[in-house]
Structure 1
Amino acid sequence: MTSAYILSGSYAAAEQAGITLWELELSSGALTKKAAIAGVERPSFLAVHPTGRTFAAVSETGNGEVIAYWINPQSGAIQELNRQSANGDHPAHVTIDEDGQWALTVTYSGATVSAYPLLADGSLGEMADSKRHEGTGADTDRQDAAHPHSIFQMPGTNRFFVSDLGMDAIIRYRLDMHTGKLEQEALVKTEPGAGPRHMAFHPSASFAYGVNELNSTVSVYKLDGNQLEEVQTLSTVPETFSGNNTAAEIVVSDDGQFVYVSNRGHNSLAVFGVAEGLLNALGHRDAGGAGPRHFTLVNNSTWMIIANEQSGTISSKKIDDNGMPGETAYSVQTIEPVCVRPLKY
């Protein structure tokens, strides 16, 4: 394989091409635009179907939508399939379950968690169920109400964890894989004012990792069955840093040896080594741009792709043998990129 494909979402206007398909040259890290599609306002977060033939996006607006697409990366074709209401304002995240049967979304301002069946052609069926969060946090500005920011599946299970930035809580749901009904099972509180944002799971050990946006920390959770127990919390910025920062994305390497977190403000990637599930800080590398809202590791390669919202750039970096991102290999200008996803094919 000489190349891979990356999808990016953005805060583009509806008349702009907000979703872009990039070809990544694996030998050099060069990124080439293969296709783009307009027609959706602020198509921010994306989720790729396990088949790699379809994907979903959210339109992060008031009274937002979730949209399904068909894609052929080799020919560069992208086609919208259909749309459904996101059942709330500003949908911030969408995930597709491991079996490709359900799309689940959260709305940041609407405080809803919703499930949609995925039909045989990849289009979205009508919403099967929705739950609404209520609560506040210690930060009166950012935590005046519940703000679910993401939903992630616990691998190999029908459990999904929602990080609610406004409530300082991670809430576990059970999804009925036949009916799409959501059952709230448990709630774990974070440190007051932490603002949990995203999660990632260790590929082989019973640990999960949560990035906290507001206090720029990463929390380590031991998994006892489906239960989360917080066992460690570390800062994502250096002790000497005194500026404003919000932590954004968290990713675990395929081999489970490293955890990466992006910092907006410090504009860096924090790198942690993993030993028996716990983390040790290894250092920071520049993000290759300003406002690294999201990044991804490209499957079966040593490449990291970073969406730098504020500088309007998508950058590629090669990971060295010590797990550290290197210098920026390549960078392309685009409209306010906020999500990058490797396309399975």
Structure 2
Amino acid sequence: MTSTYLLTGSYASEKEQGIKLWELEGMTGELTELMGIGGIERPSFIAVHPTGTSFVATSEVGDGQLVSYWVHPTTKKIVEINRQSSNGDHPAHVTIDETGQWLLSVTYSGATVNVHPLYADGAIGDLAASVKHEGGGPNKNRQDAAHPHSIIQIPGKNLFLVSDLGTDTISTYKLDAGTGALTFKYAVQTEAGAGPRHLSFHPSKAFVYSVNEINSTLMVYKVSQEGKLDFLQLLPLVPDSYEGENTSAEIAVSSDGCFVYASNRGYDSIASFAIQENGTLETLGLTESGGEGPRHFALIPGNEWLVVANENSHTLATLKMSCSGMPCIVENIVQTTAPVCVKVIK
């Protein structure tokens, strides 16, 4: 197997190298740090351009920023292009649409959903559109207000799903590919106090899998042609016998459409599920994440490795995947400051 190049974001300070470029060796799973770049405070989430030549990072602070970069893995270079205001406090998630022409982001504390144009040179343009969420939920500590936590495109469509942890909703928006305007279409209500955070689509069927941060559950939905979600299944992500604190964080579907994985912070594990023909899941089990506080992870193309960003132990862990679909062995652990995002450069 050949090498795979990865980018990581973190909760590092502006003076540290908060964004790093890594090489993962395909045979051994060994991670090698190639370079890092500083000058950005808490560069938490990263979206890679479809061409793989540039990316955008969020500076997750009050009055945050969106920062674009060129990346050249083989020459070990990352070069900043430009910055724009995130139009709200604590931008938590960013995505680049399939055309590479629009940048969509959400601000956790600002409760805004924002659209910026992306230019051919990788630069972020001025704000094109914005929608503000309102409301809250029953958990007064976490759901005092609306807290949109992610925005993710429905594959092949100009439709985007926004998971709002604060209001227990997943909303569907249509993007105008000409102007960047967002039109609200639908909203589905999760369990009260669930706190929807991230989601991931099946690669070939109309199913989407959503992870709830607050109550540590996973929800399965069928997606209509218009982007409406119909509930299919609810599953726990930690054992009933576990009495400690836990918040679930990331979710991903394998590229072959056979498995779903989700991370637990507190129980510090990766939960694995097998996808059935009707889109519902069968629980396979839990695997240690190789560190503390697995906030994010990435499946490496080929589905043989899973790289976990363990925020609290300041480590990246490479987990070997077994033929049963579960991570089985922690092959490699490297130290890096508070990693919170891992992205493959396509």
| TM-score normalised to structure 2 length | 0.98
Per the alignment, residue 83 of structure 1 pairs with: 83
Give 1:330's aligned amino acid.
N
Report SS of the residue matched to 2:75: coil
| TM-score normalised to structure 1 length | 0.99
Give 2:333's aligned amino acid.
S
Q: Which moved more, 1:136-145 or 1:296-305?
A: 296-305
Deviations 1:10-45 (A, max 9, x none): 000001000000000011000001110000000000
Q: How far has the Cα of 1:328 moved from its partner?
A: 0.7
Give matches, 1:28-67, under 5 Å.
Answer: 28-67=28-67
Give 2:286's aligned amino acid.
H
Per the alignment, residue 326 of structure 1 pairs with: 328
Give 1:65's aligned amino acid.
Q
Partners in 1 of 2:207 and 2:57 — Cα distance? Answer: 28
Identity of aligned residues (%): 55
Q: How far has the Cα of 1:326 moved from its partner?
A: 1.7
Per the alignment, residue 337 of structure 1 pairs with: 339
Q: How far has the Cα of 1:291 moved from its partner?
A: 0.2
Q: How far has the Cα of 1:301 moved from its partner?
A: 4.4
Give matches, 1:62-211, under 5 Å.
Answer: 62-211=62-211
Q: Is the 8 A contact 2:263 2:269 kept in 1?
A: yes
Give 1:86's aligned amino acid.
S
Partners in 2 of 1:105 and 1:221 — Cα distance? Answer: 23
Per the alignment, residue 310 of structure 2 pairs with: 308
Give 1:278's aligned amino acid.
T
Partners in 2 of 1:301 and 1:250 — Cα distance? Answer: 15
Per the alignment, residue 250 of structure 1 pairs with: 251
Q: Is the 8 A contact 1:26 1:301 kept in 2?
A: no
Give 1:157's aligned amino acid.
K
Partners in 2 of 1:224 and 1:178 — Cα distance? Answer: 24
Q: Where in structure 1 do 4 or more consecutive aligned residues deviate above 6 Å? A: none
Q: Is the 8 A contact 2:24 2:31 kept in 1?
A: yes
Partners in 2 of 1:254 and 1:2 — Cα distance? Answer: 18
Q: Is the 8 A contact 2:19 2:43 kept in 1?
A: yes
Partners in 2 of 1:252 and 1:130 — Cα distance? Answer: 29
2:293 to 286, 291, 294: 291
Report SS of the residue matched to 2:100: coil
Give 1:253's aligned amino acid.
S
Deviations 1:224-261 (A, max 9, x none): 22110111100001122111100000000011111000
Give 2:330's aligned amino acid.
T
Q: Is the 8 A contact 1:294 1:308 kept in 2?
A: yes
Q: How far has the Cα of 1:300 moved from its partner?
A: 2.8
Partners in 2 of 1:301 and 1:22 — Cα distance? Answer: 18
Partners in 2 of 1:209 and 1:76 — Cα distance? Answer: 35
Partners in 2 of 1:300 and 1:69 — Cα distance? Answer: 27
The answer for unaligned runs of 5 or more in structure 2 is none
Partners in 2 of 1:78 and 1:224 — Cα distance? Answer: 40
Give 1:319's aligned amino acid.
M
Q: Is the 8 A contact 2:145 2:166 kept in 1?
A: yes
Report SS of the residue matched to 1:74: helix
Q: Is the 8 A contact 1:309 1:338 kept in 2?
A: yes
Q: Is the 8 A contact 2:254 2:303 kept in 1?
A: no
Q: Is the 8 A contact 2:170 2:188 kept in 1?
A: yes
